Amino acid sequence: MTISDGSAPLSAEDIARFGPDPLAVLQANLAAVEQRIASACARSGRDRASVRLLPITKTVPAHILRYAHEAGLTCFGENKIQEASSKHGELADLAIDWSIVGHLQTNKVKYLTRFAREFQALDSLRIAEALDQRLAREGRTLDVFVQVNTSGEASKFGLHPDALLPFVDALDRFPRLVPRGLMTLALFSVDMAKVRSCFVLLRALRDQAIERHPGVSGLSMGMTGDFETAIEEGATVVRIGQAIFGQRPTPDSHYWPGAEAPS
């Protein structure tokens, strides 16, 4: 079994994870996710076009992402910069917008600005300054979402809610950054009332920020386990990995240090 463009054949590992026909699997998963997004929009009186699906592709190999592109996806979100950067290189022949949704270290800034269109995990002015300098050198801008810790868990990145407004004000100093909205990871819990309160908080913060910064209108919230609730609470971007690409082989603690099993 080979990909239509003549790329590498599927390995046994690929087949175990994505089946012998990854394109069909991804198309079916996407259709199901699309349906769920549409229903959540309908029941909350929202226009489907007001919600952007950002597929999260971490751990999915680049050659499998070719099928995702064939299935119609043109933007991919990654948590870690090295993984994103190498996939960007492998898929350079495809028109894809890359988004980085995970914590960034200052020494990785130069890799991000080379190829990413959007950074959704901004939570430090040091990183903002480093990004701005690098972008100025490259003569380009970057869309950013400011990450807020709405769950109060020590393991989560993001600003304390009280620190958000001064932080957004301070971003005015960095003309190469284009603040588009706020981002959060809700509490990992089966108690949906607690999860929902994280989304409600992010929305309230957005409503305050937008008064002084009209561009800060976006709400990136909701993942595989909670995206319908997020849409009900106003999400404009949902970041969905496993509902499209299947379960990941890596535990979430790899991405969120200290993450524990849902409580």
Ligand X SMILES: *Cc1c(COP(=O)(O)O)cnc(C)c1O
Sites of contact with ligand X (CB under 6 A): 56, 58, 79, 101-102, 185, 223-225, 239-242, 255
Q: Which is nearer to ligand X, 101 or 135 (CB)?
A: 101
Of 34 and 136, the one with the shorter C-beta distance to ligand X is: 34
Q: How far is the CB of 87 from ligand X (least distance, A)?
A: 14
Place of tokens 């089966």: 190
Half-sphere exposure for 9 (CA within 13 Å, toward CB): 3
* Measured distance CA(206)–CA(144) in Å, rounded: 14
Instruction: Give CA 176 to chain center in angstroms.
Output: 21
Which lies closer to ligand X via its Cβ, residue 7 or residue 39?
Answer: 39
| Contact of 220 with 51, CB cutoff 8 Å | no
Nearer to ligand X, 67 or 227 (CB): 227
Query: Nearer to ligand X by C-beta: 148 or 185?
Result: 185
Number of residue whose CB is nearest ligand X: 241
Place of tokens 């997004």: 37
- What is the DSSP track for 3-45? -TTS-PPPPHHHHHHH-S-HHHHHHHHHHHHHHHHHHHHHHTT
Which residues, at least 6 apart from 28, have a Cβ–Cβ distance to it below 8 Å? none
Please report how close the Cβ of residue 256 comes to ligand X at its closest, in angstroms: 8
CB of 45 to ligand X, least distance (A): 25
**Of 101 and 216, which has the nearer Cβ to ligand X?**
101
Q: Are 100 and 119 in contact (CB under 8 A)?
A: yes
- C-beta of 57 vs 113, nearer to ligand X: 57
Least distance from ligand X to the Cβ atom of residue 81, Å = 12
d(CA 242, CA 213): 33
**Which contacts (CB < 8 Å, 24+ apart) does range 75-81 have?**
75/99, 75/117, 77/101, 77/120, 77/239, 78/102, 79/255, 80/255, 81/108, 81/111, 81/112
Tell me the one-letter amino acid at 257: P
Shortest distance (Å) from residue 1 CB to ligand X: 26
CB of 126 to ligand X, least distance (A): 20
Rounded to a whole number of angstroms, the minimum distance from the CB of residue 240 to ligand X is 5
Is 154 within 8 Å of 144 (Cβ atoms)? no
